Amino acid sequence: MNFLKKSLIASTVLTLSLISAQEQTVTTSDGVNLFTKKAGKGPVVIYVHGGPGAWSRSFEDLKGNELEKFMTVIYYDQRGSGRSESAQNQDYSIARMIKDIEEIKNHYGVDKTYILAHSFGGIIATNYAYHYPNSLKGLILMNSTLNVEYSLRKQVEFLNEYTGKNHQVRSTHLLEDFMSAKKEISEKGLDYILLTDTKEAFDKLMEVDFEKPQQWDFASRVFSMPEYFMDYTRISDKIITPVLVINGTKDVAIGKDHPNDFKFSNMKIKNIEGSHVLYYEKKQ
């Protein structure tokens, strides 16, 4: 009995060690500790989450485990988000965010990587592709925006149609006007209509996100940073890296026609019936 008990304990310790070994803290060149996790087998892909200010756990739990069967996935939480530290120097610039990706890649000894971005992560990933072309094998933009103002305007258009109201969106009051338009559906518990086909899918997403640490430093600052609200479709024609765009035909959070504005020279667009969280809505 003692032998069995000891064997079980040893096996449990070994398993826990293997699990924890997948998670590593990467300290950036400006001293910010970033949560990272490496899992799977095959070509390396770095996942860039959205938000702004979300985390990588939602994708990992709801789809990443499937991706890990044929790719090595490096998950990370952006500085000031999720399980990563805030930047004491308050540097959340795009230049710094994409440098974080490069430093994570180098930390894991990867020469060239794929980048997979979701939602707001498309802004960061596209800038990474533009500034670090020699680090990339390919770019995958999944339900991604390259123009936040465009996407917020599309959300307000949808909300106006849904509620019968006529909310305006001013570039100078972008977040304020969006929140005003969203207030009515929020009061009715209908926030999910901007993200998913069903409330069940939304509830599952919220179940995972309920465990997210209350780290909102990046999210609280990003809306006062004009560079995040520029139109990055304007640099897309200068990116020669192969690009796969995965677009939801009912994605009102991004704007279902947004990929028509992308000008990547080597691009394939895959339209899939569904909303903003295709990675969970679609099981394949």
pLDDT, tens digit (0-9, with 9 covering 90-100), for 211-252: 999 899 999 999 999 999 999 999 999 999 999 999 999 999
Mutual angle of helices 121-131 and 94-107, in 10-degree steps: 70
The confidence band for 284, taking pLDDT boundaries of 50, 70 and 90, is low
Q: Can you tell me which residue has the tokens 């394949």?
A: 284
Residue 10 has pLDDT above 70, yes or no: no
With b for 16 or more beta-carbon neighbours within 10 A and e for fewer, the 127-137 pattern comes to bbbbebeebbe
Q: Is residue 20 situated within a structural domain?
A: no
pLDDT, tens digit (0-9, with 9 covering 90-100), for 173-190: 888 888 998 998 999 899
Rg of the Cα trace of the chain?
20
The helix/strand/coil state of 112 is coil
* Distance in angstroms (rounded) separating the CA atoms of residues 139 and 35: 22
Q: Is residue 37 situated within a structural domain?
A: yes
Residue 75 has pLDDT above 80, yes or no: yes
CB 58 within 8 Å of CB 67: no
With b for 16 or more beta-carbon neighbours within 10 A and e for fewer, the 56-70 pattern comes to bbbbbbbbbeebbee
Comparing 210 with 248, the larger pLDDT belongs to 248
Q: Is residue 2 situated within a structural domain?
A: no
What does residue 33 show for φ and ψ, rounded to 5 degrees?
Answer: -85, 120
The helix/strand/coil state of 274 is coil
Torsion sign across C-alpha atoms 121, 123, 129, 135: negative
Residue 258 has pLDDT above 60, yes or no: yes
* Distance in angstroms (rounded) separating the CA atoms of residues 212 and 206: 10
- DSSP E strands: which ranges in the chain? 23-27, 33-40, 44-48, 72-76, 113-119, 136-144, 243-248, 267-272
pLDDT, tens digit (0-9, with 9 covering 90-100), for 98-128: 999 999 999 999 999 999 999 999 999 999 9
Question: What is the pLDDT, as a whole number, of residue 283?
Answer: 60
pLDDT, tens digit (0-9, with 9 covering 90-100), for 117-172: 999 999 999 999 999 999 999 999 999 999 999 999 999 999 999 999 988 888 88
Range of the domain at 72: 32-281
DSSP 78: P
Q: Is residue 14 situated within a structural domain?
A: no
* Distance in angstroms (rounded) separating the CA atoms of residues 204 and 224: 31
Q: Is residue 8 situated within a structural domain?
A: no
Question: What is the pLDDT, as a whole number, of residue 149?
Answer: 95
pLDDT, tens digit (0-9, with 9 covering 90-100), for 189-208: 999 999 998 898 899 999 99
Question: What is the pLDDT, as a whole number, of residue 210?
Answer: 87
Q: Is residue 21 situated within a structural domain?
A: no
Q: Is residue 10 situated within a structural domain?
A: no
pLDDT, tens digit (0-9, with 9 covering 90-100), for 46-62: 999 999 999 999 999 99
Question: What is the pLDDT, as a whole number, of residue 198?
Answer: 87
Arithmetic mean of pLDDT, 249-263:
97
CATH number of the domain at 115, please.
3.40.50.1820
Q: Is residue 15 situated within a structural domain?
A: no
Report the Cα 157 to chain-centroid distance in Å.
Answer: 23
Domain count of the fold of the chain: 1
